[in-house]
Amino acid sequence: AATRHHEWEISYQFKSPDCVRKLAVTINGQTPGPTIRAVQGDTVVVRVKNSLLTENVAIHWHGIRQHGTPWADGTEGVTQCPILPGDVFTYTFVVDRPGTYMYHAHYGMQRSAGLNGLIVVSAKPGGPDAEPFGYDGEHSVLLNDWWHKSTYEQAAGLASVPMGWVGEPQSLLINGRGRFVNCSAMAATGGACNAAHPECATPVFAVVPGKTYRFRIASVTSLSALNFEIEGHEMTVVEADGHYVKPFVVKNLNIYSGETYSVLIKANQDPNRNYWLASNVVSRKPGTATGTAILSYYGGRSSPRRAPPTTPPTGPAWNDTMYRFNQSVATVAHPAHVEAPPPRSDRTILLLNTQNKIDGHIKWALNNVSFTLPHTPYLVAMKGGLLGAFDQRPPPETYAHRSYDIYAVQKNPNATSSDGLYRLEFGSVVDVVLQNSNMLDANKSETHPWHLHGHDFWVLGYGIGRFDPAVHPKTYNLKDPILKNTVAVHPYGWTALRFKADNPGVWAFHCHIESHFFMGMGIVFEEGVEQVAELPQEIMGCGKTKGH
């Protein structure tokens, strides 16, 4: 296995991803950052220099389990102190599974400022994890949403009373490029939009007629659930979050923040015209134009950059929950790559997701507890016996599931906040059921994509309505559930997942919508922390470890 070294300098730069000039957090001057490519079993070393001048940073390797290296997970407040301006931090970890992953900032709401990118791990040819499908070439598609307001302004708004909500994104980006629809109007009034800026040139994906392509698709959106389509080309879904899927064909693909998919497409359409790649907002009422790119055939008569002769696909109805639900249910393990889950769990944690208030501030909570990050990272505090560093009371395992009306605005919206964590018995099997509910406004429930660090989990089942612990576990798919690291909880729905607490460390589990995690929609698990090897000094230096 090889060791792949990267030298990254993180800095603010003026960028025009959607033709509008904005300060963005960049890696070596780029946003998105460079794609990390490796082969299964390789060691990746990324030396990160923080040149943000006035801002901390930490980088999370989303989907990489960090077996034996929990301190390299990059989660500020959980696994490390933030990297201070001017400091250097080296992340070293093994990529033990092939697949499509991503990385992004995990400090405050910095991810939405542009610090994100892809990780592509190829399988060892001929090995047990080699792809059960063939293709002639591949392309990568990184989907994002983009605002013109700074991340600071967004975060300060969320923390204010009354809350200042940034609203829907101004643009949807594909591989870091988009087009702000009101560019000319903005430019006419002196705004910094330049439709001819090379940084917002529409991306072109070229294909050879007759060939089959693997498209790796990842979403790092801050808010939006997306629907992705390649006009005129059906997609066969073959990978989800690094695991092979029993192939199924879709016209377009729903993808939530933190998820990755691979699809196969056949370049079998008229090569003499171009086709749209389109990303559209679903699950929230869209206020953003379709994000577009171009699919172009080599040797065709159309020049690669010419806009297709059609209007871009607009995707399914944004509020068609069952359309998305059905795709979730259809995503199961490839028959030749089924890893059967343990038949039962040792512990079930039932989490009610609600929108709440604390002293007038709007928050998100699990079982009425809104999560806050401690000042001393859990990993450091627990290894060092610094018990006063966070709330020692365990958060609640369940809620009043027999009486709670998930379709109603809750009667008493007040929540408490805590930085307590769930301690799991090492090696035990844990079920988590996420129950969605009505928000503070009547008749409103959103989709929440939940992401678990340090593990893949089996997705045992989905439902719409209230989860009943006496009934629904009997309907779980124990035969061929997909393993994932991020999963959707649909409006008014529930999602059940199972994992083995077999990775010594401390791991975040949270909604991948940046503002939701910021407002407390997350929890943290600890397992086998006593087995973690001696911690590297460079993760310390904040909270109760100052001066150590």
| Cα-based angle 33, 37, 38 (whole degrees, multiple of 5) | 145
Binding track, positions 318-357, relative to ligand C2O; x by CB under 6 A: ----------------------------------------
Position closest to ligand C2O via CB:
62
**The pair of three-digit structure tokens given for residue 82, joined into one six-digit string:** 């933030």
Nearer to ligand C2O by Cβ, of 229 and 241: the residue is 241
What distance in Å separates the CA atoms of residue 541 and residue 84, rounded to the nearest whole number? 10
Binding track, positions 403-442, relative to ligand C2O; x by CB under 6 A: ----------------------------------------
Q: Could you say which of Cu ion, ligand C2O, none residue 510 binds, taking C-beta under 5 to 8 angstroms by partner kind?
A: ligand C2O
DSSP H or E segment with residue 154:
helix 151-158
Phi, psi values for residue 516, rounded to 5°: -70, -45
Q: How far is the CB of 510 from Cu ion (least distance, A)?
A: 8
Nearer to Cu ion by Cβ, of 67 and 357: the residue is 357
Residue 223, interface with Cu ion (CB under 5 A)?
Answer: no
Find, among 370, 381, 408, the residue nearest to 518 by Cα: 370
CB 45 within 8 A of CB 90: yes
Residue 508, interface with ligand C2O (CB under 6 A)?
Answer: yes
Q: How far is the CB of 307 from ligand C2O (least distance, A)?
A: 33
What distance in Å separates the CA atoms of residue 196 and residue 251, rounded to the nearest whole number? 32
CB 286 within 8 A of CB 452: no
Contacts of 175 (CB under 8 A, 6+ apart): 32, 140, 141, 142, 203, 293
What distance in Å separates the CA atoms of residue 351 and residue 481, rounded to the nearest whole number? 21
| Cα-based angle 476, 474, 524 (whole degrees, multiple of 5) | 55
Q: How far is the CB of 322 from ligand C2O (least distance, A)?
A: 27
CA 151, chain centre distance (Å): 17
Q: Could you say which of ligand C2O, Cu ion, none residue 139 binds, taking C-beta under 5 to 8 angstroms by partner kind?
A: none
Contacts of 318 (CB under 8 A, 6+ apart): 280, 281, 282, 283, 284, 285, 286
DSSP state at residue 396: P
Residue showing tokens 């999963």: 487
Residue 516, interface with ligand C2O (CB under 6 A)?
Answer: no
Q: Could you say which of ligand C2O, Cu ion, none residue 33 binds, taking C-beta under 5 to 8 angstroms by partner kind?
A: none
Residue 489, interface with Cu ion (CB under 5 A)?
Answer: no
Residue 104, interface with ligand C2O (CB under 6 A)?
Answer: yes
Residue 369, interface with ligand C2O (CB under 6 A)?
Answer: no
Residues of this chain, 230-249, that bind ligand C2O according to CB under 6 A: none
Nearer to ligand C2O by Cβ, of 106 and 484: the residue is 106
Nearer to ligand C2O by Cβ, of 104 and 466: the residue is 104
Q: Classify 458 as helix, strand or coil.
A: strand
Options 15, 22, 49, 62; binder of ligand C2O; rule CB under 6 A: 62
What distance in Å separates the CA atoms of residue 519 and residue 467, rounded to the nearest whole number? 25
- Applying CB under 6 A, the span of 49-57, 322-330, 427-435, 504-512 interacting with ligand C2O comes to 504-512
Options 177, 455, 512, 544; binder of ligand C2O; rule CB under 6 A: 512
Binding track, positions 22-61, relative to ligand C2O; x by CB under 6 A: --------------------------------------x-
Options 72, 240, 513, 523; binder of Cu ion; rule CB under 5 A: 513
Q: Letter for the amino acid at 164?
A: G
Residue 65, interface with ligand C2O (CB under 6 A)?
Answer: no
CB 361 within 8 A of CB 511: no
Q: How far is the CB of 390 from ligand C2O (least distance, A)?
A: 18
Nearer to ligand C2O by Cβ, of 104 and 216: the residue is 104
Residue 511, interface with Cu ion (CB under 5 A)?
Answer: yes
Q: Is the peptide bond before 32 cis (omega within 30 degrees of 0)?
A: yes
Nearer to Cu ion by Cβ, of 324 and 448: the residue is 448
What distance in Å separates the CA atoms of residue 162 and residue 440, rounded to the nearest whole number? 14
Q: How far is the CB of 521 from ligand C2O (least distance, A)?
A: 11
What distance in Å separates the CA atoms of residue 453 and residue 78, rounded to the nearest whole number? 11
Contacts of 224 (CB under 8 A, 6+ apart): 145, 168, 169, 172, 257, 281, 284, 288
Q: How far is the CB of 415 from ligand C2O (least distance, A)?
A: 21
Q: Could you say which of ligand C2O, Cu ion, none residue 104 binds, taking C-beta under 5 to 8 angstroms by partner kind?
A: ligand C2O
**The pair of three-digit structure tokens given for residue 212, joined into one six-digit string:** 């089959």
- Applying CB under 6 A, the span of 174-182, 455-463, 464-472, 505-513 interacting with ligand C2O comes to 505-513
Q: Classify 538 as helix, strand or coil.
A: helix
Residue 258, interface with ligand C2O (CB under 6 A)?
Answer: yes
Options 197, 233, 246, 453; binder of ligand C2O; rule CB under 6 A: 453
**The pair of three-digit structure tokens given for residue 410, joined into one six-digit string:** 């809750």
Find, among 449, 456, 537, the residue nearest to 491 by Cα: 449
Residues in the site for ligand C2O, rule: CB under 6 A?
A: 60, 62, 75, 104, 106, 258, 451, 453, 508, 510, 512
Residues in the site for Cu ion, rule: CB under 5 A?
A: 448, 511, 513, 516
